[in-house]
Amino acid sequence: MKITELRLRELTGTLHHEGEFWEERLTRPIDVYPEHRAEREGFWMPRRVDDGVSRVVSVFLEVDTDEGVTGLAGPIPHEVAYLIDQQFRRLVTGEDPLATERVWDKMYRDAVHGRKGTPMMAISAIDCALWDLRGKWSGLPVHRLLGGPVRETIPAYASALGYSLEPEKVRRQAQRFKDEGYTATKWFPRWGPTDGREGIARTVELAATLREALGPDVDFMLDAWMSWDVPYTVKMSERLEEFAPRWLEEPVMPDLVAQCAEIRRRSRLPIATGEHEYTRWGLKLLMDAGAAEVLQPDTYWAGGISELVKICAVASTYNLPVIPHGHSVPANIQLSAALPIPACPFVEYLVKWNELLQFFFREPVRPVNGAVTVPTGPGMGVELDPAKIEAERLLGWADQPTLTVSTPA
């Protein structure tokens, strides 16, 4: 069997929802600049069409073979689709799709200047598509191919990205999560060091509101999204200790490994990080530094299923749990179902984000009573729903022109 085509499909559909879909954004490292801190919208938000109506535009990768089996991955950003088309298409076409280690290694060696960031995200998408293809070819779900299942359901925690941070709305939504059976929920403070004492007070208020609404038996976590620093995080850990968050997440920029390790040593609360790190080599730097109690690589960013298996194996030698970042619940649930429970104890479920990421799936993977049931269909267990596709176009970019340099006479 050979790979014959990599197809990039941009799909458009309409999402109907109650009220404003995206109520609040998180703090970002670039918010140290006032003009960016004042921005209301972000690239991740859906395109509002009317009250209660938003436009969803998603790109999916399909890998075709000469035996008629197709693997699916996505959604992926347009810049990732561009690199798949321009850099990796030539390497992958003609390869055996079941030889995932060979294909991954070829892409990694070719992308020597892209070991992180968008090129690695492109490698991850192709790898996930090949695992989906392998499952469909064999008639088995990916977790079976990886050695599972270890369990049939996995607890999920509700990530509240996009929800309002107004105290009364926080209280109501946290109570909804609790009533829906979640045993943990993660929230995203909008404030950081540049917000001074007011930012500290509002983050403390958020934590107090969550603990009051959730009671003592439901966990909550706070995600700083790389926007804090060492003094601020240590101070926040002291102020937040009485509310017992399960962890503080990604307090500093990803390259500040030593600072993250210092925070972990000085913090009164556990530290989680790794969402914006890549490959087993990048995650091992965090492990060697003692920078976290919980590791959070993203399956669609850090190298795909092939690489996440390796990351989890390395993490097991440090006795550290891996809870993959929630960009792709279908891929994450397949991985987690094949590993020992302590290795992947939770699945992250970004509630609003998954309305967008899984919008075009016929049967989205969603928690029930706070837990996700592992899909048993072949591959990743999801497929596109033609009824949700209102418009479609194939993406492709012509080869870039060769740069010619003229030498003066």
| Residue numbers annotated as active site | 325
Size (the chain), residues:
409
Cβ-based neighbours of 280, under 8 Å, separated by 6 or more: 303, 307, 310, 311, 314
Per the structure block, which two tokens stand in for 279? 């490959």
Distance CA 88, CA 84 (A): 5
DSSP for 332-387 reads HHHHHTTS-TTTS--EEEEHHHHHHHTTTBSS----BTTEEEPP-SSBTS--B-GG
SS3 148: coil
Per the structure block, which two tokens stand in for 241? 């200790």
Alpha-carbon dihedral 90, 93, 99, 104, rounded to 10 degrees = 30
239-243, Cβ contacts within 8 angstroms, sequence gap of 24 or more: 239/200, 239/203, 239/204, 240/203, 240/204, 240/207, 240/269, 241/268, 241/269, 243/207, 243/208, 243/210, 243/211
Phi and psi at 258, nearest 5°, equal -65, -40
| 278 DSSP assignment | -
Per the structure block, which two tokens stand in for 178? 């609790």
Distance from chain centroid for Cα 396 = 25
SS3 284: helix
SS3 250: coil
Per the structure block, which two tokens stand in for 376? 């048993």
Number of H helices, E strands in the chain: 14, 13
| Side-chain half-sphere exposure of 150, counting CA atoms within 13 A | 16
